[in-house]
Structure 1
Amino acid sequence: MKKLFCLSLLSMMLAISPSALSADKDDMEKLQKDINDLQKELKKVQGARSNVQQELQKNETQMSELQKKVEKIQQEINAQNKQIENLNKERGDLEKARAKQQAQAAEQIRAAYQLGQQPQFKVFLNQESPERISRMMKYHSYFMAAHAEKVKKYLDTIAQLNELEPQIAQKTAELNIIKEEMGKQQASLQEAQAQRKQTLAKINTTISNKDKALQDMLEDRRQLQALLQKVARASTSLAAAPSYVPLPNAGEKFSSRRGRLPWPTQGRITHGFGSSQVEGQLQWNGVMIGANAGQQVQAVHYGRVVFADYFRGQGLLVIIDHGEGYLSLYAHNQNLFKKAGDAVKAGEAIASVGNTGGQNEAGLYFEIRYQGKAINPADWLARA
């Protein structure tokens, strides 16, 4: 694996709470020994049959990183497009203002022409009474001031337009550079997808018979079970430490939420809990939810992430500790949004749907465990 999950698990357990450092020395030494033993055992298994699987992990991890880059670049493109859209709107508003100001200026020029464009002394000489002279002088003064103000606004509008044009050109040039980078990343992603396809073909060749498929699936399940047991034991040991800080309380406890938990993602169940797997030789320990690649995966309850990494057979995997001995598991993700030690709220996005772990179709594999034992998620999730 890219990271030996055992070492990641140890650091993860220490990250569950700062108070974990104050746990009894004997408990921590025992936990260290258990993790080391599991690490040695997994190395033996991986050394015997992990070449193609490691290749798959490398492909899928690379794809996940490239997908993150593509999504980030797409966000930058959207932001640049929005800025250009706002600048173009501003330019449009200024163009309308300029056209209106031009019309007003033309009207004032016509009015001035009709008035004879007379200077103030000429207006004065043409009047017969002092009152009329005073009134006409004020009219003339108002007219000239209004004309000057409109001319100033017109010139200001032109100046603003002249400033906008290079801004729009600059943003457009920046957008083209970002789009070029997007093209490169998408090409890399397509190449990684092609490599993954070839790797999956190799895997399918090696497990062309059902006995081999069953053997591999049993081994993957055994490794996952070992991981979950270590997580459960470690959570229990650390929770018993004198200065342990409990999970962030954001509402009801998990045990009281039976039948009312939100779904981890939108979709339909393609494989139910306890249904047949490998022609009845195995049963599903959770549910497989068919969903669109990239859509969000949410935590079903508040808790703390205790595992967030690639795991053989499960792909990019997230495990959340909800306290009271309850764990939830989310597998085959495309990307992970959380890391080990992070506290999460109910409904918070923790990953995106994918097909890692060698899956042909996108979907989310979801389990609930109580004291290490798989229980039916359908009993806990709210009815659709």
Structure 2
Amino acid sequence: MSSYLRNPYKRFIILAATLLLLCGAEDTRGADVHPIGIVATEGLAVQSEPGRKGLLQKTLKKGTEIKIIKRRQGWLQILHEGEVGFIRDQAQFIKIIPKKMTDTAEKQSTQLNDQHGQVDIIESRQKHIRSEIEKGRQEVEAFRRKESDIIKRLNQVERALNVSRKRTAALRDEIEKLDLRIAETTKSSEELIKRIQANEDYVAKRLTAMYKMNWLGKFQLLASADSMHEFIQRKAGLERILAHDEKIRRTLVKNQAELNKVLAEMETHKNRKSIRATEYKNQIRLMSQERSARENLLADIRSQKALELAAIDALTQAANELDRKINSLTAKINETARNKTNSRLPFSAHKGLLIRPVNGKITNLFGTYKNSKYNITNFRSGIDIQADIGDPVRCVFKGKVLFASWFKGYGNMIIIDHGKNYYTVYAHLEETFKSKGDLVETGEVIATTGDTGSMTGAKLYFEVRHHGKPVNPVIWLKKG
């Protein structure tokens, strides 16, 4: 298929231009010299076409002036009040008044019939082109809807992928905790088994001793005492031994019950871990599918100019939406509470002294930039810092978290209020460790870098704003 057919925009423009040229041709034709006719009878019928098949268009009063376009086999093609029709070419119906012409006009008149001989063809072409233009307009609208759907689909896939990442991380953490619990219960069970084994050995020895004592007889043991004092001592000693034996027996029973409980708990942990491990594998597979869908969409966008331009436009709209979001957030902050700060020096006193939010090279600067590929001029409200997925992102100055969630075009994003109308924005984050309302300190890790909402891979998008308006972040960061 040719590029003409593939590009609905180009096709639409070419058809429209052709129609304009044809309209221009009609205008030129209309400027030519036409003979004048005067209706000689009352109620002269004007038909849509010559012959019996012609339908009645209207009737003309006697004395009406008309223009004669051409003669055709006993019929006259006429023009009256912008309408073209046909009447009988008979003297009793119409009186033709020839115009005086110069030599040049006579030459034009000679060419007139030839030009108007093409009227039907031109009108037919006009009709066809108008139909093609309408089709082109519908194709353009369908193409625009497709562009919009693809950009929306990309955002949906981005959000689904972000949810999968969080779910995967949560399952991984839960599995690690279960492993720790299993290790703890295993250690407890081993210690209980050792205590039970020791108590069982003691009980076995005591049973042997008691058997022997029973064979001699308790009375024999007590009666062999040489004195009453020795008798009492033997009796007391025997009671202490029996009491200790009872204590050991109870401890043994308790340890066995505790061991059964620990083993049951360990089995529960193992079963739960098995379930979570299966969920984790399924989540990894789902995340892989969503990542593949995201890469395919990005590849489509990069390979088609119209889609890439639509993506650029979507990012511009997202930037405007971010402006509105920040203005909305700042409007809700009480002015008195906003101006309070626990720092000895406010944010404004740290120009050129702020720490870098992440280690990496600044790849895109703040301000107006030109897309050389499409010759488009745009404005970037922050900077892009190249970083690997998972690198720690630090708060550049202490403050309070205003926003910590997903934002279209920016992925996972955090906005921090530093007081006195100063704010910083951190976007395209992988994991966020802070929530709305949390207080954060200078240098504290608030997130990790990622590629959420990014069309160009892993990076950190960073902004500094004052009264809601973006300012150049580079002049606020430490150099080097």
Instruction: Report how far residue 222 of structure 1 moved.
Output: 4.4
Query: In the alignment, what sits opposite 1:121?
Result: 219
Residues 393, 447 of structure 2: 8 Å contact kept = yes
SS of equivalent residue, structure 2 residue 337: coil
Give the TM-score normalised by structure 2.
Answer: 0.57
The CA deviation string for residues 42-72 of structure 1, in whole angstroms up to 9 with x for no partner, is xxxx869534322221111110111122222
Q: Quick one: which amino acid aligns to residue 238 of structure 2?
A: H
Query: In the alignment, what sits opposite 1:346?
Result: 441
Unaligned runs of 5+ residues in structure 1 are 1-45
Distance 1:161 1:320, change over 3 A: closer
Unaligned runs of 5+ residues in structure 2 are 1-143
Query: In the alignment, what sits opposite 2:342?
Result: 251
Are residues 1:161 and 2:255 paired?
no
- Aligned partner (choices 85, 95, 103) of residue 183 of structure 2: 85
Q: Quick one: which amino acid aligns to residue 338 of structure 2?
A: L
Query: In the alignment, what sits opposite 1:309?
Result: 406
Stretch of structure 1 that moved more, 106-115 or 58-67: 106-115
- The within-5 A match list for 1:57-76 is 57-76=155-174
Distance 1:271 1:120, change over 3 A: same
Query: In the alignment, what sits opposite 2:361?
Result: 269
The CA deviation string for residues 152-205 of structure 1, in whole angstroms up to 9 with x for no partner, is 211221222223322222222222222222222222111101101111111221
Stretch of structure 1 that moved more, 348-357 or 124-133: 348-357
Distance 1:86 1:355, change over 3 A: same
**Alignment partners' CA distance in 2, 1:116 and 1:63:** 77
Query: In the alignment, what sits opposite 1:173?
Result: 271
Query: In the alignment, what sits opposite 1:288?
Result: 384
Higher helix share: 1
**Alignment partners' CA distance in 2, 1:228 and 1:193:** 25
Query: In the alignment, what sits opposite 2:464?
Result: 368
SS of equivalent residue, structure 2 residue 428: strand
The CA deviation string for residues 95-147 of structure 1, in whole angstroms up to 9 with x for no partner, is 11112212322443455567676443111222222222222222222222212
Q: Quick one: which amino acid aligns to residue 153 of structure 1?
A: T
The structure with the larger Rg is 2
Residues 341, 419 of structure 2: 8 Å contact kept = no
Give the TM-score normalised by structure 1.
Answer: 0.70
SS of equivalent residue, structure 1 residue 264: coil
Q: Quick one: which amino acid aligns to residue 183 of structure 1?
A: K
Stretch of structure 1 that moved more, 172-181 or 58-67: 172-181
Query: In the alignment, what sits opposite 2:296?
Result: 198
Q: Quick one: which amino acid aligns to residue 319 of structure 1?
A: I
Distance 1:153 1:337, change over 3 A: closer
Q: Quick one: which amino acid aligns to residue 67 of structure 1?
A: R
Instruction: Report how far residue 87 of structure 1 moved.
Output: 1.9
Instruction: Report how far residue 94 of structure 1 moved.
Output: 0.4
Higher strand share: 2
Kindly tell me the number of residue pairs found equivalent between the two proteins. Answer: 328
Residues 302, 344 of structure 1: 8 Å contact kept = yes
Distance 1:101 1:292, change over 3 A: farther
Q: Which has the higher contact order (CA 8 A, sep 6+)?
A: 1
Q: Quick one: which amino acid aligns to residue 247 of structure 1?
A: R
